[in-house]
Structure 1
């Protein structure tokens, strides 16, 4: 941590001791003030508590017992943070990273009990009061216990039992410490006008509300929240709901109160304290909602938050109309923090964003940044209904939040920016990324049994590509299966029925079935049983591969895994749409392992999974594969765009599963010499990158690069005039221009390398004017540093340090990891240990970027192992490290090395680590079996067999 804001426990105790009188006075004053407003006697301050007992063993269950149901919270919080410090002042390190507060939770007892159990983590409790709200009497308790394990249980043992049906309250006075760990109530910093500025903001999801105040911290335990924030002047406080009042307490402190929220989960509670200004939509949108985006002063003044504000306005209107449910607030605040654990968090009415997610500068930001902003804002706004209004009952069903937000974000993107043609790109990319993980035996179901997801580590693991991306893909398949109109009708009914409540997966199917009962497909004899069909997709891991024999019409299904010798016995109900060279699409539901006489092709090609709406892969007999490949090479436009990408992705992964010869996947790329569409090119690049990773240090690499140059040269020349003049084609082709540059330069096409270095050096010569088009900068920066040396790297690092605009900073950060110089990559990794050089929120991304570089794979892996304890201790959400291990582990690393690391770190049950080991084993075996065949194919395609043999 930075020494300027680091507060040790000893220092915190000293600070609290020195300021306890002032703190107590302010809190007491607030209690009295609130009581005067309410016309009630003030709540008495509790007496000092006896020492906490730390049980040595956990309670019987990791979940709250459910015998107490929270109804509402009244919460006072006071961050003692100074909003700014002059770093030239000798006392500049005397920052106070302490917060104090008190909370009253009102709850009902639904089952007689002598214990009150709720959550508390790392808070020092100064006093407790239990009150019988029905009689007004204070109730004595024997003691309280704070469990020192992952339950984070606070157990209060009462002298007498609480009565079933009784209404009670628990008042707790507490204090805590704000850290820079991006969890709970945390601190962020930035520099402005010669001062170091400090922000207090929150990140409660999934289990960090308990770090801010004692609470029933489970998503189904919804309640209303009445919040008051006491904050230093001249800061402002924001909360979930609109402000009900703000007043001065003295010369130093203000108090801001907020209207009570509607019923919501603890993980959605949010507030911030800052000096941020804002930009806003000129007038309330058509639904009467005022939208404001808060960010650092220089960003607001430069207009960098305007686009995010405007797009939020449009998207909110779209979702209100789509769901036919009014957004329940009259305001929507977007708060842009310098550091956030994720890209964003959907807190109701106060969405938190990382700066890299939503800032746009027309002079420096490219098209991809705009696309990213729409995608992120659309995702978080979709959560205002899916997650906030209707919440999963437990974290095992987090896909009901994240899968829907992913799916709906694609709809929002297509609605508000249709010319970008990004919906199909996103859907294909998300589907393919989900497939990668879901083909592993260590994957998890979309809806895992609740008993399997208990502790915070297991909960963290549910925030995976399965929940987000497979969830969205399965919903897209269901929409195609039901038809769009029926699907949307079912969604509206589901949201209406469960608003302000919590759900499980079967609740969604129940309402989809209500719609389906009125819809009978002419190709199907009867009514679809939605739960029966969809449970096969949510309760089982993985996905199927269907194999179609076009000579006899037989269709088979089997789970697709890296090792197809494993028989899982899983059977899916698979909606299949098929077209042929001469026939329009038709539909069938495959409900068994095998189906006969499905289709007759009459010697023409057939194509299954039209537009890749189904979450499954398809294999054909060799004759049909040949006919499809011939069609792609003669006229690719005869195959739907999504299916051109699907055929490439399926073929490559069938080769990895040893279902077809490895050359089939490579053969599907030949037609790209005559195709300029982005989607199939992006799919091919992703799959060819796997070959690069597998063979980057072998004899295969040279011929492979030669083939890649041959393949990409027509595409690069297609864009060459635009690229050389640092301009871009129409929106439809912008992404593929970047593809052309990256593939051409990274595979040694001389024209490309010369162009990239020249453009970058022109910027180096004239630092005040960067003539590289913003759209091209991601590719040019990276390729220039890859082809260049120390001079280019040092310049980029200096620009990175000088840059204060986060999206631009991210471009430079990625470029720094593109160098081929080992000592420069090592320097970059070492910089991640210093938050003054690389902020904590960017550490893992930096390590991943280095690991994605073939030169840096081993460096990144060794760095993680060497500094594991640092990451483990300082990063609360450390399980993210396992995700990055999967991305960066050297493919030639023996699985035994990973297992040793796993055992050493006590992570034998960690799902992500098991996935890394499984993937490594599969990679190593695949390379061993296919190296020679792949080498011969590349040699033949480049006409270099004779040269290579010499």
Structure 2
């Protein structure tokens, strides 16, 4: 057969060992049939288009049982310079409804032989009389001369060739450099809809099947897949090329997006108890011990999750592979998880405390997927949060159990709740669950993997473990919809006995899942009236997404009064509640420890009582609520609900605050405030006020960590020390700036002896490069190129964007178009980091506008985080001119499109519009407040 890509003879019929499909599948068909009938009943009834191949959803007439897939990736290019893989696939499917049409997903594959169709029973099968690729809907279409028989199973065989690209989607290639030698690695990212780029398949999550994988690969390399390899590997010669053939045991019954394959010369570290756990990496990384932390964490987390779920991990092995190029931090393939190497490697002398936390939560997240997502799978992508949101919550819960002294459960508020609040407060937000018919096209599916789907989930309470256990046991190897979740949560609540709900779980939760946004709860302490309303950053914005619940929620109210007096919890079930008693001279605070997903507002007298408590003894108010007060106040001010002066007053107590969570919340808001107003005449006084508030925190940690070299014992205390150093340098405290320049100079003199504590390096590098010139920048660039530790490379890469030299910033941006200098998956980070630098903000935005066509067409949605890019370069936009530029950008590139960034672009325009309004209306008030504060300083 001749490759249509390069014209070379690449595969002869029978070059792969032919498998006897009949013998291996008959034993599994009866069991798969029962499961398939259940799936068929679950699949939606959607009105078909005029022709079925114009629909983005597969018809439900055919259901797969078993695949046999054989692939051969070429690690060297053809004479034309093209990397390819060849293969063949056999799928056994059942006909559940008569049809004379076979639709199977196939994208960017070229057939090298006509497909063949046989009946599993041996009776004559219909003849395929025409075959074509439907590129728009990504189908291989086969028209038959007669109808398939309902109840009969058939075998479809295809042979094909595909491009082994470096787009980080489907079956792809990447490379790493060790000992001066560049070595090719073959990996896969099928999630969510890229299995079709690897072989023809029914590429939908409800189309579960058993997969038998065979890989042909170069001698001396190792091949991995979801299942254990069969020990009798075969060394042979095919078309004059020595290869090894590795076969793998059949997978569990699973969705096609969970399939994973990998070929490299990696080595591993491993442990074996009930489950074989291996961590694979380049030989140099393994010998340096960079995988030891990940291996230890994985073993502990796996035991914990099995005990917590009361469901055994169903596979005999768990492989974890580090990759130099991968779009996501990790991809949850069942039994073979792939990670970006900087997220998995840990070296105590170089890695920071935050690096270790990142490794722990990432592994916990992807291990959580082994149950939520893999064992039990969502039926369709319109409910992505059923997989991603639950796995994210479990990542905090399980990592917190593994490292109880880290207090990770509290960090979900800073890392996720505050982050999703900012997006969910926009009129262009979306519900957790979308209508199935609204999520059809590939770009619509990709858009749903966003902050809302990941971060707007939190199932807390004593019923959680019981609910997850029964849910997982009931739906193991099946697909679910959100109503299944509520049914099992209701059973857990009923069985718990201590939890009493005034309404059924489904009635409560549908309001949170089926409508976007969240409530603002307001209490008037003079009248005792409590109200709720849909909180919008721009209250007058037109909400395009209607709500059958009229944007009313059933809100769990937790509250306390002054003197730390916790009051009974209750549910706000309507828009107005007038049964609370007035409180006199005591302050009242709602949403204790942020257990509810809502913002809070008070009458002016109660706000003043809370502010007075913060000024006199801030520690009386719980740490989490001190963070909440600042975050709520700044967002209420942005929405025009409270005066901006009130929001600024919530930061006065910071001069006495030393705890991490309140300071981190304040910094997120003050950073945003600073960038929004830094193009106005209040900029100078903002710097003075920030310096006044930040200096005491810097001096506090300077005193308790002499020389800044003593590391605090507490996990979040280490983050707080970094914040103290960061705010000190950002506020231009002389002692901080002098230290960074001194330490960086020492490092430049002795590059092999870095004197900077790993926990402080990100700030030290940035500050020193901002203060320095060409010499400092070139040194950091050399160290970035030469380091073998991914987390250190990330710190240096970010610091390079801190220079005030605009010519260097322009050159650095241009490096993102050259994957030799900046890897594709890192390009977004570089552009966003430049945009965070005031000197580079306009440069980054101009770069994106000028190069959008190249970025969009060359990098592809799978390798370039377009949504993150748009958000990053526009997050400080606050002028009418910038809003007009965004609108022109949308118009100018409408022919190319924006893919997964389309929604992010709408959010950016809405947020910029809100910023313009806020700056225009509040600038006089901000100027007056800051002038007074600067005078007091």
Task: Report the TM-score, using the length of structure 2 for normalisation.
Answer: 0.92
2:818 aligned residue: 834
* Contact 2:856–2:898 (CA under 8 A) maintained in structure 1: no
Q: In structure 1, what is the Cα distance between the partners aligned to 2:768 and 2:405?
A: 30
Shift in CA distance, 874/669, structure 1 to aligned 2, threshold 3 Å: same
Q: In structure 2, what is the Cα distance between the partners aligned to 1:679 and 1:760?
A: 29
**Aligned with residue 272 of structure 1, among 252, 259, 262:** 262
**Aligned with residue 364 of structure 1, among 331, 334, 350:** 350
2:466 aligned residue: 489
The alpha-carbon deviation at position 844 of structure 1 amounts to 0.8
Shift in CA distance, 901/232, structure 1 to aligned 2, threshold 3 Å: same
* Contact 1:68–1:108 (CA under 8 A) maintained in structure 2: yes
Q: How does 1:184-583 map to 2 (within 5 A)?
A: 184-245=170-231, 246-250=233-237, 252-281=242-271, 284-285=272-273, 288-471=274-457, 475-476=458-459, 479=460, 484-519=461-496, 527-566=502-541, 569-582=550-563, 583=565
2:645 aligned residue: 663
Q: In structure 2, what is the Cα distance between the partners aligned to 1:98 and 1:60?
A: 29
Q: In structure 2, what is the Cα distance between the partners aligned to 1:516 and 1:801?
A: 55
1:178 aligned residue: 164
* Contact 1:520–1:527 (CA under 8 A) maintained in structure 2: no
**Aligned with residue 869 of structure 2, among 884, 890, 900:** 884
Q: Equivalent residue of 2:67, what SS?
A: strand
1:730 aligned residue: 713
Q: Per-residue CA shift, 1:747-784, capped at 9, x if unaligned?
A: 21111111111111110111110011111111111111
Structure 1 unmatched runs, 5+: 1-10, 41-54, 83-90, 946-950
The alpha-carbon deviation at position 92 of structure 1 amounts to 11
Q: In structure 2, what is the Cα distance between the partners aligned to 1:876 and 1:58?
A: 27
**Aligned with residue 65 of structure 1, among 59, 64, 71:** 59
Shift in CA distance, 247/665, structure 1 to aligned 2, threshold 3 Å: same
Q: In structure 2, what is the Cα distance between the partners aligned to 1:360 and 1:718?
A: 29
Q: In structure 1, what is the Cα distance between the partners aligned to 2:227 and 2:659?
A: 46
The alpha-carbon deviation at position 267 of structure 1 amounts to 0.6
Q: In structure 2, what is the Cα distance between the partners aligned to 1:625 and 1:349?
A: 53
1:7 aligned residue: none
* Contact 1:12–1:98 (CA under 8 A) maintained in structure 2: no
Q: Equivalent residue of 1:837, what SS?
A: coil
The alpha-carbon deviation at position 35 of structure 1 amounts to 7.8
The alpha-carbon deviation at position 694 of structure 1 amounts to 1.0
1:778 aligned residue: 762
Worse-matched range after superposition: 413-422 or 666-675: 413-422
* Contact 1:585–1:610 (CA under 8 A) maintained in structure 2: no
Q: In structure 2, what is the Cα distance between the partners aligned to 1:551 and 1:542?
A: 28
The alpha-carbon deviation at position 902 of structure 1 amounts to 1.1
Q: In structure 1, what is the Cα distance between the partners aligned to 2:159 and 2:570?
A: 63
Shift in CA distance, 581/106, structure 1 to aligned 2, threshold 3 Å: same
The alpha-carbon deviation at position 567 of structure 1 amounts to 7.8
Q: Per-residue CA shift, 1:697-755, capped at 9, x if unaligned?
A: 32211111111111011110011143634332222411011111111111211111111
1:137 aligned residue: 124
Q: How does 1:731-770 map to 2 (within 5 A)?
A: 731=714, 732-770=716-754
Shift in CA distance, 446/29, structure 1 to aligned 2, threshold 3 Å: closer
Q: In structure 2, what is the Cα distance between the partners aligned to 1:214 and 1:14?
A: 18
Q: In structure 2, what is the Cα distance between the partners aligned to 1:932 and 1:12?
A: 69
1:932 aligned residue: 924
1:805 aligned residue: 789
Q: Per-residue CA shift, 1:115-164, capped at 9, x if unaligned?
A: 01110001001220111112353531110121121x10221101110111
The alpha-carbon deviation at position 467 of structure 1 amounts to 0.3
Shift in CA distance, 577/381, structure 1 to aligned 2, threshold 3 Å: same
1:594 aligned residue: 576
Q: Equivalent residue of 2:471, what SS?
A: helix
The alpha-carbon deviation at position 14 of structure 1 amounts to 7.0
Q: Equivalent residue of 1:867, what SS?
A: helix
Q: In structure 1, what is the Cα distance between the partners aligned to 2:701 and 2:766?
A: 18
Q: In structure 1, what is the Cα distance between the partners aligned to 2:764 and 2:740?
A: 5
* Contact 1:552–1:597 (CA under 8 A) maintained in structure 2: no
The alpha-carbon deviation at position 60 of structure 1 amounts to 4.3
Q: Per-residue CA shift, 1:658-694, capped at 9, x if unaligned?
A: 1000011111111111121000000000000111111
1:851 aligned residue: 835
Q: In structure 2, what is the Cα distance between the partners aligned to 1:458 and 1:723?
A: 53
Q: In structure 2, what is the Cα distance between the partners aligned to 1:605 and 1:39?
A: 70
* Contact 1:724–1:755 (CA under 8 A) maintained in structure 2: no
**Aligned with residue 919 of structure 1, among 911, 914, 921:** 911
Q: In structure 1, what is the Cα distance between the partners aligned to 2:934 and 2:471?
A: 57
Write out the 4+ residue segments of structure 1 that deviate beyond 4 Å after TM superposition.
11-16, 34-40, 55-58, 91-96, 519-522
Worse-matched range after superposition: 122-131 or 558-567: 558-567
The alpha-carbon deviation at position 427 of structure 1 amounts to 2.8
Worse-matched range after superposition: 744-753 or 449-458: 744-753
* Contact 1:517–1:528 (CA under 8 A) maintained in structure 2: no
The alpha-carbon deviation at position 528 of structure 1 amounts to 3.5
Q: In structure 2, what is the Cα distance between the partners aligned to 1:899 and 1:437?
A: 19
Q: In structure 1, what is the Cα distance between the partners aligned to 2:795 and 2:243?
A: 40
Structure 2 unmatched runs, 5+: 27-48, 544-549
Q: Equivalent residue of 1:156, what SS?
A: strand
Worse-matched range after superposition: 423-432 or 609-618: 423-432
Q: In structure 1, what is the Cα distance between the partners aligned to 2:585 and 2:730?
A: 42
Q: In structure 2, what is the Cα distance between the partners aligned to 1:717 and 1:93?
A: 64
The alpha-carbon deviation at position 370 of structure 1 amounts to 0.5
Task: Report the TM-score, using the length of structure 1 for normalisation.
Answer: 0.91
Q: Equivalent residue of 2:156, what SS?
A: strand
The alpha-carbon deviation at position 15 of structure 1 amounts to 4.7
The alpha-carbon deviation at position 348 of structure 1 amounts to 0.3
2:41 aligned residue: none
Q: In structure 2, what is the Cα distance between the partners aligned to 1:93 and 1:324?
A: 55
Q: Equivalent residue of 1:875, what SS?
A: helix
Q: In structure 1, what is the Cα distance between the partners aligned to 2:844 and 2:338?
A: 30
Worse-matched range after superposition: 349-358 or 786-795: 786-795
Q: In structure 2, what is the Cα distance between the partners aligned to 1:389 and 1:542?
A: 30
1:648 aligned residue: 630
Q: In structure 2, what is the Cα distance between the partners aligned to 1:616 and 1:758?
A: 46
Q: Per-residue CA shift, 1:537-578, capped at 9, x if unaligned?
A: 000011110100111111110000012235863101111111
Q: Per-residue CA shift, 1:563-598, capped at 9, x if unaligned?
A: 223586310111111111143231111111100022
Number of paired residues? Answer: 892
2:40 aligned residue: none
The alpha-carbon deviation at position 12 of structure 1 amounts to 7.1
* Contact 1:578–1:585 (CA under 8 A) maintained in structure 2: yes
Q: Equivalent residue of 1:517, what SS?
A: helix
Shift in CA distance, 723/855, structure 1 to aligned 2, threshold 3 Å: farther
